Every structure is written in C-alpha cells, then in structure tokens.
Structure 1
C-alpha cells in the first residue's frame, strides 16, 4: 500500500472519479485498494454523494470498514444512513469492537439492538461489554482485539500462533500473559519473543513487572500513564487483576485530542459550541448561558465605574486609560492562567509545588508591571504636555494591576483544581473579567486619593 504524496492525490481522485462514472469495477478496485487507508478515506470524503454510493457498491463490507473507521462521528452518521442494514451489520463485524461501541453510543442509533442481535455473537458480546462501561473510562476506550498467552507456551508455539491470529489483533508489539484464572501474570514484547530460544517457555521470557490500569480509571489518567512510560499499549484489568482489554497509543492520541478540545471549550467559555457541524441555532443556544453569565459580571464592572463617577467628572481624561489598564491586566492574567492550566494538565505543578509557580508568576507580573509602568509613564508625559502626575497614576496603577493579575491567573485554576473541578473552567473570559474589576478598583482608588493634586 502506498501513501500518496500531495501532488499525486488530485490525480488519483480524478482517476477514481473517472472509473466510478464509467462503472468500471475492475479498474476502480485496482486503483483504490492499492492506496493507504488514510488516502482511501480522503478520496472517499472528496466524492459527491453519488460517488460515495458507488463506492459502497464496489467495496465489500470488510473493505469499507477501514474507511468507515477513518471518518469522524458526524461523517459516519451520514454514511451510515446510506448503508443497507445487512451491509452495516457485516461491516461492524470487521471493525474493532471499541469503534463500533463508540459509534452506537455517540450517535444513539435507534436500531442498535437489532444490529447487535444480527452481528456475529462473539463480536456483539464484545461491543455490549464495552458499551456497559461509564463514558471516558479506561473500559470505555479499550479494545478487545488483543492476543494473550499462556505461561506454558513455548516461543516457537507463540510465533506460530501469531502467524494465524495477528491479523485480527490491534497490536502485537506487547503480548500479555494470563494464568489459568485469566489474571494478568506478565508481559512479553515482540522483541523478547523473537530473540528467545524456540523451546523457551513464556514464563521464562516474560516480565512480571506489568504496568496496568483499572477498567474504571479516568481516560485522561490512562493517557498520562502511556505518555509517561512511552508505551505503545497498556493492559486494562479488573480490581482482582483479570485482563479485560488493552488501550493502544492511537486510542490515547484520540483521548488527548478530545481532552484538549474540551479544555479549549472551557478556556474560551464556549463549552460544547466549537463543533463546526453545529447549526447556528444550536451554537447560539450553547453559548448563550456563558455570554449571559459574563454579562452579569460586566455589570459589576459598570457598577465600579459608577461608584467613581465623581472622580471621572472632575478628571474626564482618566477614562481614556481605562481600556488600556483593563486590557493589559486581562492579557497578563490569561497568560498566567494558561501556565497554571498547562502545569496541572502535565503534572509539572505537582513536581515543582504550588507555591513555587505562584511565586514565579508574581515575580513575572511584577517585572512586567515595572517595564510597562516605565514605558507608559514616558509616553504619557510626552503626549500630555509633561503631566507627570497623570503618568504616575496610570503607570503605578498598571504596575499593581499586572502584579495582581498574574497572581490571580495562576491561583484561580489551582484553587478550582483543589475543589476537584476541571481547572479549565477558570476560563479566559472569567479571569479577564475578574482582573477588569480589580484593575479598575486599583486605578480609581489611586486616582481618587490624588484627585486634589490632579485638579
């Protein structure tokens, strides 16, 4: 199978479209099936609806199963509606059980029970078992297509078995060993198996120090474990150490992408509304609660300005610098927020300590404040006829605002994390609004104190 280069992809697409339009089954299959599965998916996605339907006629359910797996859930749903019932059932029999379970659960397929009853019983049982796990757990993302060994088998016997069964396994780089009670007893790498003597038994080759995860562990915890150990796969066990499945690195990549997308949603206060496939009405409905909540926070800001109305009436020029102070403080707080959320996600804060990160952000905010204060005081004194008092008020206010903003940006997610809430909830808009309130309080308090000298 060849992976297409970018310059070849369009030529192949044109050729495949030509074969489809001419109903040339043989030429289509020779051209299409020699492609890498990823390229097959891209070519299929580029086709019009009529072309996609023609592909379904020219490919068997087994051949199309690789393409179906490569589509996102929204695309799978659209394609699924084009499939005949028997074709869909046959296709699901050739797909990994975890992919079938994900599709049936996420898309809430109405005839899911009928599909499962019509599937191969062994495959259906795997899907049903996976669907029973709570979402976002190790059990929900594990695969049942793995090879396990008996301790009594020899290296030569295992290699012979792999020749027969490896084609159906998710991965063969790690082979997990079970005892007579199906408990996880050890692990054998493919490398260890190849270099072993043919008559050596598995229990002589295997390592008994096996890192595993429990079936109800959070998927993010699993992702961090695989990343930390640089594993290609990790076994999933029950509380009594029975092996029930494995999680491979490609599943973990999906988890990391999902978690990153979720954090981005939280970070921008648009949870559930970033999917481009959503309608405008659905996106607006999902965003509305956040916008309304932030609007009420904005009322607090407006109220603070109202409290210092007398100061503003006497020195109207102070209003000109409000956006500058609020915006700069908000940006500083968001940067510190990103550092804290990232540190919590990677576990680096646990290693370095909470107070060390807070101290560092305070130092960073203070130094930024000093630099911005000096620059701003110089600019204001030049453009406002040497009004050094105004420059002092704005500059000092900015210094304190940035120092506070950096600390708040770091502290809020850390406190939220201690409360067992996702730290990404401390989103940019919330931090920005909080810093707006504090920076205005600082600015107007200093200005009001020095009002007599300004007038």
Structure 2
C-alpha cells in the first residue's frame, strides 16, 4: 500500500535523523539531496532542534538555501530557524536564496537583525536587498525576483542560447528570455521554445514578441495575479515608469498570492483566521473566542429589539413564531450577497460598480418577491388569515431586499475607497441584517395589526 505524502515525510525525517545520530553524514547528504526541493523544506522543518543543529553543519550553503526557499511556514518562523545558526552562516544562506524569498525574510526580521545580516554581506548584495525591501507588502515589487534571463537586442539566436546556458543556473525561471536595450528598458520577450526552434544565425529581433504585458512595482498583488491568470503566463516582468526591467514574478508566487487572498476572504466571511487549519484546539479557541463573544453581545441587540415590540407580540402571539424565520432568511440572503460582492469587487469584474449594484438589485427584488409570496401562501393555508399572510410575506420580502442590498453596498463602497472588500466580516453583516429584519418585520406587523388580530 502506497504511503500518503505526510507519512512519506515523517519516514524521511526519521530515516535522516537516524543517519545523523549514527554519524553517517555522507549517507545523510545522499538521501537528503535525492528529495524533491519542496520535501527538503518539509523535512528540515520536521527535524528536532538538536538534529537541525547537526544538519546545518553538514549541509553546504547552497543546499540550505534550497531548503529555506521551500519552507512552507510563516516568515517569522523561518527567521527563527535562521537564527539557530551563527550570523555569518545565516547571511551566506540568505545570499544564496532567490531574491524574492530573501526579501520576504528581511521584511519579517526586526531592524536589529536586518542590520546584522546586511553588515555581513558584500556591499552590492546589501544594496540589492535594500532596493527590494523598500516596496510595500502585497505589491508586485515585494513579490518579484531579480534572477531572470535578459539579453541585449541585436544578438543572434546562437549567442542568446549561450547566454541562457550561463545564466540559467542562477535564474528563478528560464521559460522566458527578456530582451532589453542598452538602458535595460524592456523591449520584448522571447520564449525558450522560440529560441530552440529557430536557426542559430537568426537575429533575436525577428522572433521577439514586442507586445509586452508587464506590471509596475507598486501594483497590488491581486491585480498582478489577475493579469497572470488572464494571460496564462508562467512569469510576468516588473518594470518602473520608465519601462526599465526590475525583476519578474513567477507563477509559483502567484499561486501563493491566490491562496493568501482566498484565506483572507474566508477569514473575513467567517470572522476567524483560517490561515492554519491544523491549529491545536486551544489555538482555535483563542482565534475564535473574541469575535464569538463580540457577536454574542451584538446579538443581545436583537433580543432587545424583540423585547421592545413585546406589546405587539402580546396582541398577536403568532408573530413570535416567525421571528427566527424572517431574521434567519434575511441574514442568509445578506451573507450570500456579501460573498458574491467580495468575490466580484475583490477579484475583478467586467462590470462597473454601478452595473454590479443594478444586477444585485434585480436579483434581490426577484428573490424577495418569490420568497415573500411563498411564505405568504404557506401562512395563509396554515393560519387562514389573509392579513397575517400579507404582513409576514411582505416583511420577509422587504428584509431580504434590504439585507441583500446592504451586504452588497458595503463592499462596493470599500472598493470605491480602494479598501480590500475582503475585510468585511460575514457574521457581523448577518447580525446587522437580523436587526434590520426584526425592525422591518415588527414595523409592518404593527402597521397591519388590525388586519389579523382577533380574526
């Protein structure tokens, strides 16, 4: 029976641990090197601290850089692993890492530690790091790598292939070759496939695609991810306002962005941090309790609203039976509308904000009418009261309409203000929808009370 991935990693951790404990350094390196790069990161993170202390002494800087490039844990935790080594060893590893991953770690470090590592690096390397960490988080500049394949315009295919061979080992991606002029301005792109399928003597200009799709260093990472998804790129160049090539963003970083944005959306809609699904029960409690208690307190407002309408309920006790149904349905409608709005405004849409609101209005009115008529019919056949049926059906329709529009308008306003719509909290919106539904329900019921009380 084939083992699943987690079991394979655990077995690798145990096997490699045994190698180190038995002093079999060469066998350890042979076995560790045979792992996939992604597995190297997982296995290293799985070692006990005392085993890691032996492991990093056995491994060379290049192997450790591969490990740290592939660690799938928070940057803060990676920095902690780096600090298990002497500062010079850590600086050497950082210099061997891909620039985008290196910059991520520097951004996660306290300033004291940044200064320590930079002081141990050559001046040229330190300046490159400074140029990368100046970009704000979640922008194209913070994602880009500076290890890319670039050639000067005017070269022949055979000369470009020779350059590619020289640069390929250091480059993060070798699928595209970027053609630049004497001032390092991006003038075109050539795929490796085109290079391999055209005559050696042909000039690079004859096979260069001059319609360049690029992003600016300050662009939001979500917009970058959308461009890559739309064009199915494996990487995308990053330029400044003068079209000078600064770096590239590869598809693996885009996948991370998409995952990060999805986590943010789920966290917002659920009012809980879902970034780590393997939290311990206690960690899960600490994450969930604050919002749960806050929503409990806010939920008391709904109770207070019901109490405020107690005189109305005394006159028609049947009204109490429909409170959970109307409030719950309005809350569900609001949550649905919120999810669609966050997706539409947060991830790009061909519709303008106004068109999106009109579309939601039409959908909300249709849903409200259908649900209202259905409930009115059920109540009429159940209770035999036309007045009660109209009041309950109308209240449900109005609640659905208001809740849907409210839940859609809030993200739309945030989008206009250039704020990420994913910050909207789903349970909070649902609670507010409950309040509105109760107010609408009893306002309509009180106004139509004479139509069904005593009948």
CA-CA distance at 1:425 after TM superposition: 3.3
Given that 2:315 and 2:453 are in contact with CA atoms closer than 8 Å, whether structure 1 keeps it comes out as no
Given the two structures, how large is their TM-score scaled by the length of structure 1?
0.87
* Offset, 1:359: 4.4
Corresponding residue for residue 222 of structure 2: 220
Alignment partner, residue 184 of structure 1: 186
User: Displacement, 1:190?
Assistant: 0.8
Work out the CA distance in 2 between the residues paired with 1:44 and 1:424: 34
Q: What residue in structure 1 maps to residue 65 of structure 2?
A: 65
The answer to whether the aligner puts 1:441 opposite 2:439 as a matched pair is yes
- For the aligned residue pairs, the C-alpha RMSD in angstroms reads 3.3
**What SS does structure 2 have at the residue aligned with 1:115?**
helix
- Asked whether the equivalents of residues 155 and 198 of structure 1 are also in contact (C-alpha less than 8 Å), the reply is yes
Local SS of the residue matching 1:246: strand
CA distance in 2, matches of 1:184, 1:359: 42
TM score, norm. by length of structure 2: 0.87
CA contact (8 A) 1:146 1:171 kept: yes
Partner of 2:413: 415
Per the alignment, residue 260 of structure 1 pairs with 262
Q: Is the 8 A contact 1:373 1:395 kept in 2?
A: yes
Within 5 A, what are the aligned runs for 1:34-433? 34-71=34-71, 72=73, 73-108=75-110, 110-270=112-272, 292=294, 298=299, 301-302=302-303, 304-348=305-349, 351-370=350-369, 372-373=371-372, 376=375, 390-433=388-431
Native 8 Å contact 2:188 2:209 kept in 1: yes
- Hey, what's the Cα distance between the residues in 1 that align with 2:5 and 2:285? 36
- Looking at structure 2, the residues matched to 313 and 261 of structure 1 have their Cα atoms a distance apart, in angstroms, of 47
Q: Whole-Å Cα distance in 2 between the matches of residues 164 and 406 of structure 1?
A: 59
Secondary structure of the 1:448 match is helix
Contact kept, 8 Å, 2:151 with 2:163, in 1: the verdict is no
| DSSP 3-state at the match of 1:207 | coil
Per-residue CA distance 1:1-48 (angstroms, 9 max, x = gap): xx9966654543442232233221122112111110112222223332
1:300 Cα deviation after fit: 5.4
Structure-2 separation of matches of 1:277 and 1:89: 32
Distance 1:273 1:320, change over 3 A: farther
Q: Report how many aligned residue pairs link the two structures.
A: 449
CA deviations 1:357-406 (Å, max 9, x no partner) are 44443444445445544665566578x76566545533332232223322
Gaps of 5+ in 1: none
2:91 and 2:286 map into 1 onto residues whose CA distance is 37
Q: Distance in 1 between matches of 2:366 and 2:283?
A: 45
Instruction: Check conservation: 1:235, 1:247, Cα contact below 8 A.
Output: yes
Deviations 1:405-437 (A, max 9, x none): 223222332233223332223331332133222
Query: Quick one: distance in 2 between partners of 1:109 and 1:32?
Result: 34
Relative to structure 2, which stretch is displaced further, 152-161 or 43-52?
Answer: 43-52
